[in-house]
Amino acid sequence: MQMLRLSTQLHKWIALVVGLQVLFWVGGGLVMTAIPIETVRSEHRVAEQPPVPLALAALPPLDDIARQAGVAPAQAELRNTPRGPAWTLKPASGEPIVVSALTGRPFGPLSAVEASAFARRAYRGTAEVSGVAFLREAPEETGRTGPLWRVDFADREKTSFYLSPATAEVVTRRSGVWRLFDFFWRLHVMDWNDGEDFNHPLIIITTALTLSIVVSGFILLWIRLARDLKTLRAARRVARSE
């Protein structure tokens, strides 16, 4: 009986403390499994654009580009972008820079009209552009730093494309679906700041307490089943004696 009372009290009070978070875990897990990850990433809003081969013969040597850019790169990446071929030059220390692979100079400023046109070209669907804004600091939801262009579309998901101000590439996509998913993800991992840390002390403690609920629940079940079985046997013996 003492074990039963202790297990009952432990089970009840711990369940009261962590029950709301368990609800968040289950509800968040349901939302995150019910929404296809492709929809969360707005992959259905990305227009198919076949890769364009680089005209390497028409490009100056990397040595000339690095000299023009004033960078001694420890790493260099060449790729096609909406504004033409570009080199990303990463020095041994410091931030990488992006320059035109034709001139070795940074690309010129991107206007709102150009940002809208490039975003529309990368978008799949019939929705119109509902807003264009230059952001000097990248929003937290992008997971990036530095300035970005944001182009919003008037579709049902409220899709937003974030573009590089240098190359006009779509560096990330966000939508109302993504923000709903992110809200439940933060509840799920108990990181209400940026949702990046999923092994912090709070979630470890809460998980341990939840495990104790399960263990104490099994103890209660075992004790009560044993007691009910004992009562049933006693009733059978009485019936036989009669």
Percent with pLDDT over 70 in the chain: 86
Mean pLDDT on 32-48: 92
Using alpha carbons, select from 116, 127, 121, 77 the residue that is nearest to residue 98: 77
User: Average model confidence (pLDDT) for the chain?
Assistant: 86
Q: How many CA atoms lie within 13 A of 216 on its CB side?
A: 19
pTM of the model: 0.76
The dihedrals phi and psi of 129, each to the nearest 5 degrees, come to: -70, 125
> Is residue 138 pLDDT above 70, yes or no?
yes
| Integer Cα distance of 220 and 194 in angstroms | 39
Lowest mean pLDDT among 45-54, 114-123, 137-146, 201-210: 201-210
> Is residue 203 pLDDT above 70, yes or no?
no
Residue 102, token pair as written in the block: 């034709």
Mean pLDDT on 143-167: 96
pLDDT band at 11 (very low <50, low <70, confident <90, very high): low
Compute, in degrees rounded to 10, the torsion defined by CA atoms 101, 106, 107, 112. Answer: 150
Helix (H, G, I), strand (E, B) or coil at 232: helix
